[in-house]
């Protein structure tokens, strides 16, 4: 729970307008009321929703192009506790799309650099940085301390490790992927009837598949998908809107198009099917490696 130095019983927002927002007995400072004023004006968020965001926690695996956008908007929105897991260091080639970093960050570890940037953006956020290697057991233990998980990694071994761990820990997962001018996003939610990640991709595809490193990516495309990951996560925290739990969102930047595809649970899925053959997390070759490196087990 976040500590607040004072309690506001009545606050006027936007004195140039006639509207008033009354907060009764809630621990918001004057700075917080101003910072989150546009959220508070939304009937779907309001005071209660903002308080829920401030008391929520999100673990983000991968602090690259997707993670940069997602992390910035989660912190700006007032998510109270954010975990950042990435073992990589900032490279000059990252700056074309990884907007969380500056030229001065080149050579620095991403997770601590991300923590500094997010704390500078919003001191309300507690940010924990993980820069070491995460085994399946350590990742599962880490997930226990968070309400939701974002997979912002860039390789299939990591995606399967994260999705399997989230499945066994029953944590909501929002995952996205990008390459060239295209991206996709979906949520994997606990509960009977919801398809898991392996219902969509049963096994890791061949390593020869195109990646951003080999095929390139338009710099703004990870920003679009990472921002949408933040939107979907905030919706899950607030309990508002329609989730992507049974849908896949496809984005094509060249054609300027979005479309959604229905996802259904596969009764023969090796993980969540009626006769599952996967009963524990599988650590594939390269294990957990967002950004091309393993994520972390220490701050």
What is the per-residue pLDDT across 98-132, written as a single tens digit (0 to 9) for each? Answer: 999 999 999 999 999 999 999 999 999 999 999 99
SS3 196: coil
Supply the pLDDT for residue 211.
56
Start-to-end C-alpha separation, the chain? 21
Residue 61 has pLDDT above 50, yes or no: yes
Q: Round to whole Å and give the CA distance between 29 and 22.
A: 13
Question: Taking Cα atoms as reference points, which of 134, 168, 196 lies closest to residue 281?
Answer: 168
Residue 256 in any domain: the answer is yes
The tally of CA atoms less than 13 A away on the side-chain side of residue 103 is 0
Residues 6+ apart with CB under 8 A from 43: none
Supply the pLDDT for residue 298.
30
Residue 7 has pLDDT above 60, yes or no: no
Q: Round to whole Å and give the CA distance between 143 and 137.
A: 10
Lowest mean per-residue pLDDT among 11-25, 105-119, 168-182, 197-211: 11-25
The neighbouring-strand residues paired with 21 are 11
Residue 293 has pLDDT above 50, yes or no: no
Supply the pLDDT for residue 253.
98
Q: Please answer whether residues 40 and 68 qualify as being in contact, where contact means their C-beta atoms are separated by less than 8 angstroms.
A: no
Mean pLDDT throughout 260-283? 95
The neighbouring-strand residues paired with 258 are 251
The domain tally of the chain equals 1
Residues 6+ apart with CB under 8 A from 233: 58, 70, 74, 148, 150, 174
Residue 90 has φ and ψ, to the nearest 5°, of -70, 130
Taking the C-alpha atoms of 24, 29, 35 and 39 in order, what is their torsion angle to the nearest 10 degrees?
-20
> 76: how many CB neighbours lie within 10 A of its CB?
15
Mean pLDDT throughout 8-25? 39
Supply the pLDDT for residue 284.
87
Residues 6+ apart with CB under 8 A from 205: 156
Supply the pLDDT for residue 219.
96
Summary mean pLDDT of the chain = 87
Q: Please answer whether residues 132 and 298 qualify as being in contact, where contact means their C-beta atoms are separated by less than 8 angstroms.
A: yes
pLDDT band at residue 209, thresholds of 50, 70 and 90? low
Residue 171 in any domain: the answer is yes
Residue 35 in any domain: the answer is no
Mean pLDDT throughout 147-155? 96
Token output for 11: 């606050």
Domain that holds residue 191: 56-292
Residue 30 in any domain: the answer is no
Residues 65-92: tens digit of each pLDDT? 999 999 999 999 999 999 999 999 999 9
Mean pLDDT throughout 148-159? 95
Tokens 């959604």 -> residue: 260
* % of residues, the chain, pLDDT over 90: 78
Supply the pLDDT for residue 205.
84
Residue 178 in any domain: the answer is yes
Mean pLDDT throughout 176-205? 94
Tokens 């606050």 -> residue: 11
CATH number of the CATH domain containing 256: 3.40.50.720
Residue 21 in any domain: the answer is no
* % of residues, the chain, pLDDT over 70: 84
Residue 6 in any domain: the answer is no
> 33: how many CB neighbours lie within 10 A of its CB?
19
Residue 261 in any domain: the answer is yes
């Amino acid at each position: 729970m976040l500590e607040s130095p004072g309690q506001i019983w009545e606050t006027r927002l936007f004195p140039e307008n006639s509207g008033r927002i009354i907060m009764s007995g809630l621990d918001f400072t004057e700075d917080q009321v101003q910072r989150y004023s546009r959220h508070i004006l939304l009937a779907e968020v309001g005071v209660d929703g903002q308080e829920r965001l401030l008391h929520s926690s999100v673990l983000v695996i991968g602090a690259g192009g997707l993670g940069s956008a997602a992390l910035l908007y989660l912190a700006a929105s007032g998510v109270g506790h954010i975990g950042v897991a990435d073992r990589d260091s900032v490279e000059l080639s990252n700056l074309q799309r990884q907007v969380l970093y500056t030229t001065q960050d080149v050579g620095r570890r991403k997770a601590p650099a991300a923590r500094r940037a997010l704390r500078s953006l919003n001191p309300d956020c507690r940010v924990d940085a993980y820069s070491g290697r995460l085994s399946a057991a350590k990742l599962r233990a880490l997930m226990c301390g968070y309400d939701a998980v974002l997979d912002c990694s860039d390789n299939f071994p990591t995606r399967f490790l994260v999705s399997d761990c989230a499945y066994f820990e029953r944590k909501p997962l929002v995952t996205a992927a990008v390459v060239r001018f295209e991206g996709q996003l979906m949520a994997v939610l606990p509960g009977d009837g919801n398809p898991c990640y392996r219902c969509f991709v049963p096994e890791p595809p061949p390593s020869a598949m195109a990646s951003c490193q080999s095929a390139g990516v338009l710099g703004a495309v990870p920003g679009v998908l990472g921002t949408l990951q933040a939107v979907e996560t905030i919706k899950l925290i607030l309990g508002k809107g329609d989730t992507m739990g049974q849908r896949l969102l496809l984005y094509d930047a060249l054609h300027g198009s979005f479309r959604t595809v229905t996802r259904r649970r596969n009764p023969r899925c090796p993980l969540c099917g009626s006769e599952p053959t996967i009963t524990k997390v599988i650590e594939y070759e390269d294990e957990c490696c967002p950004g091309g490196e393993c994520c972390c087990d220490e701050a």
